[in-house]
Structure formats: C-alpha cells, structure tokens
Amino acid sequence: QRVVLHVHCVDTISLAVQADCEAQIAKRLDGLEWAYVPYRRPGLPLAQGIAERLRPGVDMLILANHGLVVAAETVAGAEALLRRVTGLLARPPREVAEPNLAALTALIGRTGYRLPADVEAHAAAIDPESCRT
C-alpha cells in the first residue's frame, strides 16, 4: 500500500489498553484483515514488533496502548478505511453521576486543597467503570 495513516484514536486506545483487547477488537472488526501489535517502545522496537505481525492482506494495525494504523493504495482509500475502522471501534460516552460538591468541599475543609473549576474533572473518580481493576 502506498498511503499509510497513523492516528492516536481515543476509542482505539481505550480498547487497546484492555486485558482482553484482542477479543474485543476481533468482534468489532470481524471479517476485516487486521493485526494486533503488543506494546513496544517507539522506534526500532515498535518497527520490529510491526514486522513480526504484518502479513499479506493486512491493511490495519492496532498498536497496543498506542493507536491505529491503516493503509491503502490511495489517500481516499486510506481515509475511507480510517473512517470505517474508527466507526467500528467507536465507544459511546458513558453517563457519569454528578459529584457531591458540598461533601467534597466539607472533606477538604481548610487543607489548602481546592476543587477543580471544571466539574467534569471528577468523572474519572466517580465513574464505576473507570475505577474497576
């Protein structure tokens, strides 16, 4: 393929950091030619990891903890494949409960700490899915 696109797609990364990411991604990309590349440091180690997993017909790579690579013969083809794959890997945002600002304010008391100006900053701390181990 003559055109290669590499993106740090948030939806892809959110799947590629999961312990069972290959199985989750396989369900979403069923019927497509793709390869999973376990995490390697950027540079030569990553290039070697890609070379180990690349096989004829593969036109997309999922890079663990890193992102997505798609390839095609044309810019339009690569863009179309990128849109298709990111659509298949899309994850809808989760609803998050409102933080109890009164309780948090009481908790910090006179410690010198302050609550973040953006209420959404609390989402990672109060979202059960984000807190699971």
Query: 3-89: which CATH topology?
Result: L-fuculose-1-phosphate Aldolase (3.40.225)
Question: Is the per-residue pLDDT at 133 higher than 70?
Answer: no
pLDDT digits (tens, 9 = 90+) for 74-100: 999 999 999 999 999 999 988 888 999
Q: What six digits make up the tokens of 59?
A: 């036109």
pLDDT, tens digit, 9 for 90 and up, residues 34-75: 999 999 999 999 999 999 999 999 999 999 999 999 999 999
Q: Are strands 60-63 and 35-37 parallel, antiparallel or unpaired?
A: parallel
Rg of the Cα atoms in the chain: 20
Band of residue 102 on the pLDDT scale cut at 50, 70, 90: very high
What does the pLDDT read at residue 128?
86
pTM here is 0.79
Question: Measured between alpha carbons, how far is 76 from 93 in angstroms, rounded to an integer?
Answer: 29
Separation of alpha carbons 102 and 100, rounded Å: 6
Residue holding tokens 């998050």? 96
Q: Can you give the residue ranges of every domain in the chain?
A: 3-89, 101-131
Whether residue 26 has pLDDT greater than 80 = yes
Q: How far apart are CA 86 and CA 90, in angstroms?
A: 6
